[in-house]
Structure 1
Amino acid sequence: MTSNSEPTRNSPKHILKLSIKEKREFLDSFDRVFSDVDGVIWNLVGNIPGAAQGYRMLISAGKKINFISNNSVQPLSEYERKFKAIGIDVDLDTLVHPATSIVKYLKNINFNGLIYVIATEHLKNILREAGYEIIDGPTKILKESATEFARHIISDEPVRAVVIDVDFNLSSAKLIRAHIFLRHPDCILIEGATDKLLPIAEDLDIIGPGPFAQVIADSSKKRLITLGKPGKDLAEMLVKDFKIENTKRVLMIGDMLEQDVGFGKECGFQTMVVLSGGCKLGDWERETNLANIPDYYADSAADFIELMNDVNKSNM
């Protein structure tokens, strides 16, 4: 029988404030962890103290750890270097981020066509290496002339997919060109990173790619195929690719309410937010979407060190 009552707002529990019995039950409740990277393992300043050791302790306890990021700006070689430096062995084939997810989606639908890309050179190169033909631009400053502007944005090239992710040289001309390509009924719209705001320093956020992707979706009336967190398309792909049968046995850890917690809830996972990145203590109290409120929280992933030690001592 379905209840018609509104969902209740539950406050997340700090993992170190649980009783010993609750700590043990929490650790026993999940077999796999999906974790964000930026703001959880490291940030722009450096590695987050103790986070890597916290994850190594989870791995030693038999938990499977997979990393999932909205950051496809950073090359895979840089991910590999950073994980190696902190002593975490990561199979890059299982690292989930927008560039690889977009390629996987295109292969799954047997896409064959020209792609217009608004993104970094790194993402473009991953698409090229996967065998896809892409176009981009305009990349130069255009004269303030309607004729000149039209010459650079209007074309009859057979674009059948528009991909948008982080682009440090985004312009109105690129957005308008994407809108024009999407007028074709067979042209699809794919979004990578969805972040509305990107935290880059203490008390400093910048506009992320999400709002620009939404502008294109609204103007073209196309469905956004979202392959970054918290996209439903990515959630379905993740559960299928990792052959997850019981989603409640998975814990999603991140530092953002919408991107990480919301994504975990979309997947049916348990969720935990850390306060070492974009989320601050009590942010969930102002959150209007109950799906973005975590089950648990911690100051950082380093809290797993104390939690594991507490449980281990109680087992002696």
Structure 2
Amino acid sequence: MAGAFGFKGCQKIRGPQIRNLLEAKDFFLFDCDGVIWHGEKAISGAAKVVNSLIRHGKNVVFVTNNCTRPRENYVHKFYRLGFTDVMLEQIFSSSYCSALYLRDVVKVRGQVFVIGCDGLRRELQEADIPCVEEADDPDATIYDCALAPDVKAVLVGHDDKLTFLKLAKASCYLRDPDCLFLATDNDPWHPLSGGRILPGSGSLTAALEVASGRKATVIGKPSRFMFECISSQFRGVDPAQCLMVGDRLETDMLFGSNCGLDTMLTLTGVSQIEEAQEYRNSELTTNHSLVPDYVVDTIADFLPAFEELDEQSN
């Protein structure tokens, strides 16, 4: 599809080009943080864009590496921020997809040791996947704590209560070569207000990879598995008819490229167009997978295209 609107590589589009893209695509995949909202504030015009896409009969799904809340909490957040048409079935978080992977792909038989928040545990419980219960004495150490006998997988996500003991236990479990090593995502950090950052799941996974000498299988973006989850739950998903809209080159654009999707970078989040242009001009061909097909300042740039489409239909 990129050839229909220009060569692949940071094409800034607006107006008629966006309208052509809207008409050409059936599935729209959106990242959330930095694309749809910042924290508890929706990006201006985002709710109207999402609701307009749904009203025009487009399939809209949300693919987020944020594993801290279960999907039903996402539905409440969408509704709270004005996205009144979003349903549970449209939300694909790395925690939900991790639960599907453990239940349906590897069919884990045994307990899962989780480094992560309550939201991740709740998604696993919804899928009837048993998790190791943490019941250690506050003074326990790796020298004297109990280790569960039937741990078949270690799953690492965002954990703001990470302890050295959790890291040590996970390292012990991973000495068993038959114990799976999974990560919800490999995001290194997340931006906070005031120029501060929050270490992401990827930083925790990296620590455990060093300690265990093993590499984790990543479930979330840029892995293809999230797209396979979508394809399994929506009939007739054709990559050529999909557009991935995100704010991070190393996850969202690479995810789209890995899955054969056209990609769009919105400049309301982490990555900026100068970084994309550097990747485009790089001599390393692997960097070209991080380059978006299209760039918009914000997804609110879709709104004039909807107005034109509505005028045509009247």
Structure 1 length as normaliser, TM-score?
A: 0.84
Q: In the alignment, residue 91 of structure 2 is paired with which amino acid?
A: L
8 Å contact from structure 1 (residues 138, 174) kept in 2 = no
Unpaired runs of at least 5, structure 2: 1-6
Partner residue, 2:125? 128
In structure 1, give the amino acid aligned to 2:178: D
Of the three residues 209, 212, 231, the one matched with 1:220 is 212
- Cα–Cα, structure 1 residues 35 and 103, in superposed 2: closer, same or farther, change >3 Å? same
Distance 1:161 1:98 in 2: 16
Q: Provide closer, same or farther for how the CA distance between residues 218 and 232 of structure 1 changes in structure 2, counting only shifts above 3 A.
A: farther
Other-structure match for 1:307: 305
Q: Partner of 2:4 in structure 1?
A: none
2 CA distance for matches of 1:315 and 1:34?
25
**Residue in 2 aligned with 1:39?**
34
Q: Which of 243, 246, 251 is the matching residue for 2:238? A: 246
Partner residue in 1 for 2:185: 193
Distance 1:129 1:305 in 2: 37
Between 1:85-94 and 1:166-175, the stretch displaced more is 85-94
- 1:93 aligned onto 2:89: yes
Whether 1:49 and 2:47 are equivalent positions in the alignment is no
Q: Does residue 267 of the first structure (1) align with residue 259 of the second (2)?
A: yes
Structure 2: how far apart are the matches of 1:167 and 1:54?
Answer: 33
Q: Determine which of 62, 76, 79 is the counterpart of 1:67.
A: 62
**How many residue pairs are counted as aligned between the two chains?**
300
Q: Distance in 1 between matches of 2:90 and 2:110?
A: 27
Which residue is equivalent to 1:158? Answer: 150
Separation in structure 2 between the aligned mates of residue 142 and residue 241 of structure 1, nearest angstrom? 46
Deviations 1:6-37 (A, max 9, x none): xxx95312221x6x3x4443223211101111
Match for residue 119 of structure 1 among 104, 116, 120 = 116
Note the C-alpha offset of 1:245: 4.8
- Partners of 2:144 and 2:134 in 1: how far apart? 12
1:213-266 Cα shifts (integer Å, max 9, x gaps): 133234434442222111233344333443455312100011111121111111
What SS does structure 2 have at the residue aligned with 1:115? strand
Deviations 1:30-60 (A, max 9, x none): 1110111111111125111111112222223
Write the letter of the residue equivalent to 1:177.
K
Contact 1:55–1:301 (CA<8 Å) still a contact in 2? no
Q: Is the 8 A contact 1:137 1:174 kept in 2?
A: no
**Paired residue type of 2:209:** A
Work out whether residues 118 and 136 of structure 1, in 8 Å CA contact, stay in contact via their aligned partners in 2.
no
Contact 1:33 1:252 in 2 (8 A): yes
Q: Percent identity?
A: 28
Specify every segment of 5 or more residues in structure 1 that has no aligned partner in the other structure, as ranges.
Answer: 1-8
150, 175, 179: which one aligns with 2:171: 179
CA distance in structure 2 between the aligned counterparts of 1:58 and 1:235, rounded to whole angstroms? 20
Amino acid at match of 2:47: A
The 3 A distance-change label for structure 1 pair 123 and 295 is: same
**Aligned equivalents of 1:140 and 1:303: distance in 2?**
54
Instruction: Provide the rounded CA distance (Å) in 2 between the counterparts of 1:253 and 1:64.
Output: 13
SS in 1 for 2:113: strand
Could you tell me which of 259, 262, 268 is aligned with 1:276? 268
1:65 maps to amino acid:
V
Q: Alignment RMSD, CA only?
A: 2.6
Distance 2:18 2:37 in 1: 25
Stretch deviating more after TM superposition (59-68 or 267-276): 59-68
